[in-house]
Amino acid sequence: MRVGILGLMQESNTFLPATTHWDDFANETLARGSEVCTQFADAPHEIGGFFEGLQTAGLEAVPIFAARAMPYGTIDAESFTRLIDTMCEELKATGPLDGLLVAPHGATVSQEYPDVDGYWLHRVREMVGPDLPVVGTLDPHANLSPKMVEACDALIAYRTNPHVDQRERGKEAASLVARMLKEGLRPRMAAEFPPTAISIESQCTEESPCRELYQLARQMLDEPGVLTNSILLGFPYADVPEMGSAVIVVTEDDLPQARRYARSLAAELWQRREAFVVPMPGVEESIELALKAEAPVCLLDMGDNVGGGSPADSTWLAHALFDKQVERSLITLYDPEAVAQSGKVGIGETIELCLGDHSGAPNGGPLVAECTVQSLHEGRFTESQALHGGFSVFDQGPTAVLTTSQGLTVVATSKRMVPFSLGQLTSCGLDPASYRILVAKGVNAPIAAYRTVCKTFLRVNTPGCTCADMTMLNFNRRRQPMFPFERDTTWEGSAV
């Protein structure tokens, strides 16, 4: 039995003026046929789980197409058309299939299609017909749509944030397809969409209130007939009608049961909505807290969350650490110009640089400082552990490690880089544990990597296109009413 594998993944921040292009996928992941296996089979990614799960079940994996780009702005119309046309051409050329495993992200937006994932999943369903088993995975930051649900027999979201179980969820999806093909299993899926959006800072599954909600979801898996369930926490940096939370329950040939349990789980999420709204310290308060906390301290720069599509060049925290002359502090900034200038003067030389805030949006203003070029690097590194995002190979481009007399170390990169691995620092000869304060440009994702060295984590409410307070963003297309934007929103949930 032949099971095809498809993937199209990008998290689109619609509040960025810049767009994501074909080259952004080509420079990250744009694989056809056997290239999909080469790039993903051994990776801690759901597509890697697809391959392993199908092999375990004795089914033939048929890699077709996989594209992935770093989180950034909306995909431009021409690039999206080219992506979809390429995917469909590869699928058509594959020949007859017995099943299909798909890996959308769930929060992808193009200029023409706000619900990219619903669109391409429907295109695929039309091509393979209504009876072919189609099972997919989702990032829990997905803004789930009814079209995504309609196009698939089952969808399974990761259960962790930071995302460390992606490969396991891929294996689970492959096992479900195998049961459909070998045993005649008939999954029935239902989804509920409580009118609430959850800010990123409250989406860590290891912390309350997510922890208790996910415990309830796991308990539900012990109920007879329940095959799987998922909580979609949502991606608030996409101004689309689908933005917000959702839940999925998949049962064994019992749609009424799936609907009851989905309603019950959604009601539990809704009842906890106030707990997801938490106070957030600003820049100055966070520095003061960090100086009193057990070191090393990781400051999570929420307004410049690269995993949410930000420019990676915000300097709010850099200015504060520099001005307060915090010794043994470190920040990473996307600044190709600073890297180029550092390369020209060479290691050991001192140069005045305007660091950061080159992306166009107000991001704190450049940090003007005399810097010594400590070292220069290619910027390529690998990660052997299963950390957030399923990445194992990274390239932040030519990189310069710069030190200032005020105690601040700046790692300047020539490519935007998500802080998913300490290899970002150790590959540059830096010891993260030797610093008092480290700034990671993320919210929950960096915790999986940085917890090995940091004793304290503080989320900082910095300004930016990924600011923690989503009510400050200018939404035009979201659902209304919706909590917490309209605090008096009502919704009738029910329990089993």
**143 pLDDT above the threshold of 60:** yes
Range of the domain at 12: 2-276
Mean pLDDT of 321-329: 97
pLDDT score of 288: 97
Q: Are residues 244 and 389 in the same domain?
A: no
Q: Which of 266, 223, 308 is nearest to 495 (CA)?
A: 266
Distance CA 166, CA 337 (A): 36
| Of 257, 276, 295, the domain-final residue | 276
358 vs 149: which has the higher pLDDT: 149
> What is the model's pLDDT at position 414?
98
User: Tell me, what's the pLDDT at 388?
Assistant: 66
Are 54 and 153 within one domain?
yes
390 pLDDT tier (thresholds 50, 70, 90): confident
Cβ 277 vs Cβ 489: under 8 Å = no
pLDDT at position 360, please? 75
Query: By mean pLDDT, which of 183-192, 353-362, 433-442 is the weakest?
Result: 353-362
Average pLDDT over residues 70-85: 97
* Cα end-to-end distance, the chain, whole Å: 38
Q: Are residues 243 and 268 in the same domain?
A: yes
The answer to whether residue 492 sits within a structural domain is no
Measured distance CA(65)–CA(62) in Å, rounded: 10
Of 463, 424, 448, 434, which is closest to residue 320 (Cα–Cα)? Answer: 463
Six token digits for residue 493: 């949930």
168, 48 in Cβ contact below 8 A? no
Same domain, 98 and 238: yes
d(CA 175, CA 179): 6
Looking at residue 18, its pLDDT comes to 92
| pLDDT per residue as tens digits for the range 288-307 | 999 999 999 999 999 999 99
Asked whether residue 361 carries a pLDDT value surpassing 90, the answer given is no
Average pLDDT rounded to a whole number, residues 169-188: 98
Mean pLDDT of the chain: 96
Residue 335 lies in a domain: yes
According to the model, what pLDDT value does residue 495 have?
Answer: 38
Number of domains present in the structure of the chain: 2
270 and 384 in a single domain? The answer is no
Within a domain: residue 197?
A: yes
Q: Is the pLDDT of residue 493 over 70?
A: no
- d(CA 429, CA 108) in angstroms, rounded, equals 36
Same domain (yes/no): 87, 139: yes
Same domain, 114 and 259: yes
Mean pLDDT, to the nearest integer, of 249-258? 98
| Digit-coded pLDDT (tens) for 81-138 | 999 999 999 999 999 999 999 999 999 999 999 999 999 999 999 999 999 999 999 9
pLDDT of residue 30: 98
Residues 172 and 294 in one domain: no
Using DSSP, state whether 285 is helix, strand or coil: helix
Residues 213 and 295 in one domain: no
**Of 478, 482, 419, nearest in space to 454 by CA:** 419
Domain boundary, last residue among 223, 248, 276: 276
- Would you state the pLDDT for residue 357? 94
What is the enclosing helix (H) or strand (E) of 218? Answer: helix 210-220
Same domain, 218 and 362: no
Share of the chain above pLDDT 90, in %: 94
Are residues 32 and 71 part of one domain? Answer: yes
Share of the chain above pLDDT 70, in %: 98
| DSSP of 111-177 | SS-S-HHHHHHHHHHHHH-SSS-EEEEE-TT----HHHHHH-SEEEE-S-SS---HHHHHHHHHHHH
Q: Are strands 297-301 and 456-460 parallel, antiparallel or unpaired?
A: parallel
In terms of phi and psi (left: phi > 0; alpha: psi -120 to 50; beta: otherwise), the region of 473 is beta
* Claim to verify: residue 410 and residue 430 sit in the same structural domain: yes
In this prediction, residue 496 carries a pLDDT of 38
Asked, for residue 487, whether it belongs to a domain, the answer is: no
Mapping DSSP to helix (H, G, I), strand (E, B) and coil, where does residue 182 land?
Answer: helix
